Amino acid sequence: DQQVKQNSPSLSVQEGRISILNCDYTNSMFDYFLWYKKYPAEGPTFLISISSIKDKNEDGRFTVFLNKSAKHLSLHIVPSQPGDSAVYFCAASRGSGSARQLTFGSGTQLTVLP
């Protein structure tokens, strides 16, 4: 049972336009959400996060929105650049046991076309 879902395996966007990547979750115990970016042959790198007490967090071209009632979050990239082409993973965290664990979605391959 996937608790974190990214239903779009791929997304193509023109350079300069907005990219919107979506993520849904089912476990209401999640209280912190993160986005990671992964290039081929590299490990994922942390991009941006949001606590469940907020509905928006912005960092430069990247903004994450959280809709708790819908159990939905999205990552907006404006403007999109070719260097943004990568796989984006959504992750959710909850406190349990001895360490907070992350549950990842299956990823969305973003391609930004020049």
Partner 1 sequence: DVKVTQSSRYLVKRTGEKVFLECVQDMDHENMFWYRQDPGLGLRLIYFSYDVKMKEKGDIPEGYSVSREKKERFSLILESASTNQTSMYLCASSEVWASGGAPGGETQYFGPGTRLLVL
- Summarize as ranges the residues that interact with partner 1 (CB under 8 A): 4, 6, 9, 31-32, 34, 36, 41-46, 49, 51-52, 89, 91, 93, 95, 97-107
Query: How far is Cα 18 from Cα 34, in angstroms, rounded to an integer?
Result: 19
Query: How far is Cα 7 from Cα 23, in angstroms, rounded to an integer?
Result: 7
Helices (H), strands (E): how many in the chain? 0, 11
Considering the complex, state which of residue 9 and residue 16 has its C-beta at the smaller distance from partner 1: 9
Q: How far is the CB of 35 from partner 1 (least distance, A)?
A: 11
Q: How far is the CB of 84 from partner 1 (least distance, A)?
A: 19
Report whether 25 contacts 5 (CB < 8 A): yes
Considering the complex, state which of residue 15 and residue 31 has its C-beta at the smaller distance from partner 1: 31
Reference 25, options 77, 75, 79, 68; nearest CA is 68
Considering the complex, state which of residue 29 and residue 78 has its C-beta at the smaller distance from partner 1: 29
Considering the complex, state which of residue 13 and residue 89 has its C-beta at the smaller distance from partner 1: 89
Q: How far is the CB of 32 from partner 1 (least distance, A)?
A: 4
Query: How far is Cα 114 from Cα 104, in angstroms, rounded to an integer?
Result: 29
